[in-house]
Chains A and B, each alone.
Chain A
Amino acid sequence: MERLTNERINRDLLAPLLKTGWRFYAVVLVSGAVVAWALFAWGWQLVHGIGVTGKRRPEFWSLYITNFVFWIGISHAGTLISAILRVTGAEWRRPVTRCAEAITVFALLVGSMFPIIHMGRSWLFFWLAPYPNWRWLWPNYRSPLMWDFFAINAYLIGSLIYLYLPLIPDLALVRDKTTGLRRRLYAALSLGWRGTEAQWHRLEKAVSVMAIIIIPVAVSVHTIVSWDFAMTLNPMWNSTIFGPYFVVGAIFSGIAALILAMAVLRRAFQLEAYLRPRHFNSLALLLLVMSLFWFYFTFAEYLTVWYANEPAEMAVFWSKVRGPYSPLFYAMVLCCFVIPAPVLAFKRLRTVPVVAFVSALVVVGMWLERFLIVIPTLGHPRLPFNWRGYSTTWVELSIMVGTFAYFTLLYALFTKLFPIVAVWEFKEGRHKEISDLKFEISDPDYERAHSSHV
């Protein structure tokens, strides 16, 4: 295998920016077409009304809010990997951070479209923003939707900064390797980075500060999203566990999405030397821990509801455990715990393809979990005369598939413009490893301490 020299690292990691294969165009074309179809579906909805979706009385929220919570959950990938692992000094995070941070930003962008899409009068979405106006009208800060507005915007701005700062040295690297218009673009974006000692120091400081700030912001975001449900009077929504439950679920689905993205990128850009089995192994162990955590919270929630046996809550409970929603419920448990936990527990099974497959299951299972939180409760309000089942329509499904395509499209464009593995961070990591090793080997006490036959 060719040695990982700086030249080789630059060549491998900058290749997607400098060369474009037919597969890239295919991905952009297909996802672009799906996005265009989804836009048509949304236009249809804007013209005709929310009635073209499956929403009805009493399920006033359905797939759009499910997807909203799902995507905001996925956005917790970046924070965990990048920020927490950076703060705790876990070196293996290095090739993974940018991939994760990009997922966060794009998942937030996609997710935050849904509150607008689900509104009856989407074109007035800006009324949720507190801006001075002639009629002295301000939004209602007591509404959890307003808390969403501030939390998600704060997290989006924070994540953008957190993505951009570590990108600067790599932007300078690309600037130095390109010419013409592209060079000018990267020169502008890299803010005149020269790689001086002082600049590195400032950058490390800034990134550390952002890493520490972004963690409580991320925790608060999904807690606040959970309070869209927990603050209501609805059976099986009004639960104190929702805050932590949603955060755990978000981290769980975020890691799974990250593993999936990494597996795809590794294949697509031949990054086997950078995204190595040990990265997938470490992430798989984290996924295992989150799966156990998720199971614990789910078990605690369902056990307490069942034991207290309160009629309004039991109606929702039974609809999930043995009623019309039970196939989805058991599929969720299968995808989130029954398969992942035992499979990930065995080192021999923690290979890249197996871990990627399990992550795909987790992503599906977590989407089902969001669905099963939103719809069964809404379908069983306190006055039983109003109970109703739910079915979806082409508009809702088109928009949902469209957002997945939009995410793919944004991500593909990102990999074309920016190196998906942080080049300087990776090089820094190798430099540290090598100098640590050199130090240990030159240490006279090393041989004495490490020899096994004295």
Chain B
Amino acid sequence: MPHWGMVIDLDKCTGCEACVVACRTENNVPLAGEEQTALGRQINWIHVERYWEGEYPEVKARFLPVLCQHCDAAPCESVCPVYATSHSPEGLSVMTYNRCVGTRFCANNCPYTARYFNFFRPAWEAPLERALNPEVSVRANGVMEKCSFCVQRIQQAKLDAAGEGRAVRDGEVKPACVQSCPTTAMYFGDLDDAESEVSRRAESGRAFHLLGELGTRPRVIYLKEE
């Protein structure tokens, strides 16, 4: 059974946010509009954090794409009173949208602030609703959501592979963010397979876990800049 994981090479990340756009298109993430975004209601399953370093003229911008880390010891999963978030056998932190009653405790306990809440009813101005992905559900008002590692693409790959009587090949599953990165800074695959791209890249001396000291055991490995 594959155990999914992701590697993000921060040396290659330019902060272009193509991953952000691709993700919201693939996963039917609603737009909050300018006013609501300024208030902090925007939903971005992956968002790029920008930190400034140094003083002018020696200023440097550092980019950190943050998404749900699908932690093996996820602090969000134990605090949901109704089991709306749980862990799949393949290592994904899964959301059951219809079960969520919106207490937002999970959002408070995520140290990566990687969870998002529908503060209003998700709505798309015509004709944008025609671009909705039929493979992904549209969430309701008052429900939590977050990155799913594009579980619909994982499911599709598994179905295709089963139809052809083989296992899923390394690199066959590409979440929207991984697929759209212009500098190929992101990789996705089976961390249990020692030969997979993600496993080989995770062995790099530059590898680290974001907030790893907290013991959340995230499945996203970052490679720090050279």
Residues of A bordering B, CB below 8 Å? 48-51, 55-61, 115, 118-121, 124-125, 127-128, 137-140, 142-146, 149, 228, 231-234, 378, 381-386, 388
When distances are taken between beta carbons in the complex, the residues of chain A under 8 Å from B117 are 50, 57, 60, 120
Q: Is the CB of B81 within 8 A of A120?
A: no
How long is the Cα–Cα vector from A127 to B50 in the complex, in angstroms?
40
Closest-by-CB residue of B relative to A56 is B40
Interchain CB contact (< 8 A) of B66 among A61, A115, A383 = A383
For B111, the chain A residues whose CB sits under 8 A away are 233-234, 381-383
Which single residue of chain B is at the shortest CB-CB distance from A234?
B108
Main secondary structure of the interface of B (DSSP, over half): loop
Q: Helix, strand, loop or mixed for chain A's interface?
A: loop
Residue contact B119 to A121, C-beta cutoff 8 Å: no
Nearest to A378 among chain B residues (CB) is B108
Is the Cβ of A60 less than 8 Å from the Cβ of B108? yes
22 sample A-B contacts, Cβ–Cβ < 8 Å, listed by A number = A57-B113, A58-B107, A58-B113, A118-B103, A120-B102, A120-B103, A121-B101, A121-B143, A127-B99, A128-B82, A139-B81, A139-B83, A143-B78, A145-B105, A228-B105, A232-B109, A381-B111, A383-B66, A383-B112, A383-B113, A385-B51, A386-B113
With most chain A CB atoms within 10 A of its CB, the pick from B49, B75, B102 is B102
B99 to chain A: which residues have CB within 8 Å? 127, 137
Most chain A CB inside 10 Å of its own CB: which residue of B50, B66, B101, B143: B101
- Which residue among B105, B142, B144, B214 has the maximum number of chain A CB atoms within 10 Å of its CB? B142
Contact with A along B83-125 (1 / 0, CB 8 A): 1000000000000000111111101110111001111110000
A279 to chain B, nearest CB (A): 41
Complex: A137 Cα to B144 Cα, angstroms:
19
Among B50, B82, B109, B211, the one with the most A-chain Cβ atoms within 10 Å of its Cβ is B82
| Nearest chain B CB to A374 CB, angstrom units | 10
Chain B residue with the shortest CB-CB distance to A135: B99
List, in ascending order, chain B residues with CB within 8 A of A149's CB. Answer: 81
A121 touches B100 (CB 8 A): yes
B186 to chain A, nearest CB (A): 19
Measured between beta carbons, the chain A residues less than 8 angstroms from B120 are 48-49, 51
B36 at the interface (CB under 8 A from A): yes
Bound Cα distance from A58 to B119, whole angstroms = 12
